[in-house]
Structure 1
Amino acid sequence: MGSDKHVSLAGIMGFPVTPFDHNDTVDEKAFEANLQFLLTNGLDSVFVCAGSGEFQSLAINEYERLVTVGVAVVAGKVPVFAGTGGNLKESVDRAQLVERLGADGLLLLPPYLIIPEQEGLYHYYRTIAQSTKLPVIIYQRDNAIFTLSTLDKLAALPNVIGFKDGLGNFELNIEFVQSIGTRLQWMNGMPLAELTMPAYKALGFHSYSSAISNYIPQVSRAYYESLLAGDEQRMQAIYREVILPIHRIRQLRKGYAVSLIKAGMNIVGLPVGLQVRSPLVQVEKEHYKQLELIIKKSIDLLAATNNV
């Protein structure tokens, strides 16, 4: 895709997990099943080796295999992006590797540990972006918080096509969208993004990352279609019965943003297992049972609302 600024990032973005077996080895077959499930259920793009994929825990050979499998399985049906970030030299190496492997773009995660000045933040993201011809998406979260001036300079780079927000500062987002406009595509990357998407849509954000699409994609799709159609009654039912209850479980333990996804996938029969790499922890049995009930209720809810 080169540096095409017109690559579309609209819709629901899928973030597959990285499955590990009991020997802590990447399970490529389970990863393929995760990807096929996302494709079958109509996700608009796929982001491998990112936050849900435990990017921070992957060795370079594991990373290379996962990107290779992702590109092969998706086979051009939707864009495939890969995550890179952390150590600058390693980020550049991985960006160039992703380009060689034939992926469609990159999601640039924050630098490791340091809380940088804006000048340092700009040079960090510019260095990675300029190391490749692939389209790149800037990810704001944690220690990577931008001013308008910094983001405006990054938006001027020919292959920077999008901005994903995981911070949730709406005053800042309004300033970004109103000032930069269509020079970037705007993506909601908040935890359990369905929770905040109505507010983001009002600002001009047209896509979001959906963790629950890994196990109940039909709910995310029904939610998004209801949002676009202005079906407040159906949206409220999905909030009440599914999104808010899952959100409450996610808040119970740090790291559930990833491990709860694997629990949900295990519940619906996808073969990814429950293993996560340290420092993440597995979902506790009681929380697993609570999620199981929510998933069952979500299926019943969609059946009922589809018949209305």
Structure 2
Amino acid sequence: MNTNRKAPTGILGFPIAPFTKNNKLDEYALAQNIQFLLDEGLEAIFVACAAAEYPSLSKAEYEAMVEVAVTVTGGKVPVYTGVGGNIQTSLELARVSADRGADGYLILPPYLVTGEQAGLAAYFKAIAESTDLNAIVYQRDNVSLSISTLEALAEVPQVVGVKDGLGNMELNTLLTQTFKKRFGWLNGMPLAEVTMPAYVPLGFDSYSSAISNYIPHISRKFYKGVLSGDQETVNDIYQQVILPINNIRSQRKGYAVSLIKAGMEIMEMPIGQTVRLPILPIEKEHYAEMQTILKNALDRFPKETSIQSI
């Protein structure tokens, strides 16, 4: 367990859950996915989270995913897990994460339950304090965190970060100006490269990258352009890669997950397109569009022979 009370920074890897055609977790394919992200220099691995269809996983599958991630990373980068939803399940999976050697967890919202801010603070606090692992709280969907809620969570040493999936920039400004470096700030918007240039000036220094599962060198080139002020590169990647992929992603609900698997398959990573209901695989015409986008992306932004850190 890593007791460093600091949220990971940089580009964060969110491996998918590879399923076989008979709907079983493919642990070997998962290990390959994680190793690929490590080889590409991603700064942390977030396993069994939303990109890995967290709500559909059995406890046995969850445990297996955590074990694979901890084994493959071998302490090279922090391993975070996903917990959240049902409070009792969250507490159980937080303990699983600790027992299996994870460094922390991302606490997802209590889905289908809308609580008062005091209730939300107590929900995040109860999970964060249930182990000594680092915890990152995630505002998205039905959860919008207030200053009072974060004041309560700031008293919990385990809470090291706040991840935003709402895109409310007025709220983000208030939160980051109030708490500054007390928390690490993570951009968790869908296809976070779209919004990262707007988040960096507020103090956000990391983001979850879906496209890093299949074109990580382009995500890194984009982020380096954002940080260095290379607007020409940023605009070029926006127009040629990020916005076209985002346009497909927005066509159907669930594409935030199934589009990752399609991209990986197109890039000849043998994980298949099997997803769990209610998510569906992407449609044939969108798959064809994705093939064209990725071919053009690789032609325009070929992978360099070595990865340089930001």
TM-score tier after normalising by the smaller chain length: over 0.9
Counterpart in the other structure of 2:174: 175
Give the distance between the partners of 2:32 and 2:93, measured in 1 at CA.
24
Q: Which structure 2 residues correspond to residues 217-228 of structure 1 after superposition, within 5 A?
A: 217-228=216-227
Residue 40 and residue 304 in structure 1: after superposition, are their counterparts in 2 closer, same or farther (change >3 A)?
closer
| Residue 2 of structure 1: how far off its partner (Å) | 5.4
Q: Which structure 2 residues correspond to residues 1-308 of structure 1 after superposition, within 5 A?
A: 1=1, 3-5=3-5, 7-303=6-302
Give the distance between the partners of 2:41 and 2:4, measured in 1 at CA.
23
Q: Is the 8 A contact 1:3 1:159 kept in 2?
A: no
Give the distance between the partners of 2:56 and 2:220, measured in 1 at CA.
30
Residue 303 and residue 160 in structure 1: after superposition, are their counterparts in 2 closer, same or farther (change >3 A)?
same
Give the distance between the partners of 2:20 and 2:136, measured in 1 at CA.
31
Q: Is the 8 A contact 2:15 2:46 kept in 1?
A: yes
State, as a whole percentage, how many aligned pairs show the same letter: 51
| Residue 112 of structure 1: how far off its partner (Å) | 2.5
| Residue 304 of structure 1: how far off its partner (Å) | 10
| Structure 1 residues without counterparts, runs of 5 or longer | none
| Residue 9 of structure 1: how far off its partner (Å) | 1.4
| Residue 303 of structure 1: how far off its partner (Å) | 3.5
| Residue 8 of structure 1: how far off its partner (Å) | 4.6
Residue 117 and residue 262 in structure 1: after superposition, are their counterparts in 2 closer, same or farther (change >3 A)?
same
Give the distance between the partners of 2:111 and 2:208, measured in 1 at CA.
22
Q: Is the 8 A contact 1:164 1:189 kept in 2?
A: yes
Number of matched residues? 305
Q: Is the 8 A contact 1:16 1:46 kept in 2?
A: yes
Q: Is the 8 A contact 1:15 1:209 kept in 2?
A: yes
Give the distance between the partners of 2:268 and 2:219, measured in 1 at CA.
18
- Give secondary structure in 2 for the equivalent of 1:261: helix
CA deviation string 1:220-262 (max 9, x = no partner)? 0110111111111111100000000000000100000000000
| Residue 184 of structure 1: how far off its partner (Å) | 0.3
| Residue 3 of structure 1: how far off its partner (Å) | 4.8
Give the distance between the partners of 2:144 and 2:300, measured in 1 at CA.
38
Give the distance between the partners of 1:102 and 1:163, measured in 2 at CA.
22
TM-score (norm: length of structure 1): 0.97
TM-score (norm: length of structure 2): 0.96
- Give secondary structure in 2 for the equivalent of 1:201: helix
What is the root-mean-square deviation in Å for CA atoms of aligned residues? 1.4
CA deviation string 1:91-134 (max 9, x = no partner)? 00100110010011100001121111111111111110110100
Give the distance between the partners of 1:30 and 1:304, measured in 2 at CA.
23
One-letter code of the match for 1:36?
Answer: Q
Give the distance between the partners of 2:4 and 2:90, measured in 1 at CA.
21
One-letter code of the match for 2:80?
Answer: F
Give the distance between the partners of 1:87 and 1:118, measured in 2 at CA.
17
One-letter code of the match for 2:4?
Answer: D
CA deviation string 1:162-211 (max 9, x = no partner)? 00000000110111011111110000000000000010001110000000
One-letter code of the match for 2:126?
Answer: T
Q: Is the 8 A contact 2:161 2:184 kept in 1?
A: yes
One-letter code of the match for 1:146?
Answer: L
Residue 303 and residue 178 in structure 1: after superposition, are their counterparts in 2 closer, same or farther (change >3 A)?
same
- Give secondary structure in 2 for the equivalent of 1:47: strand
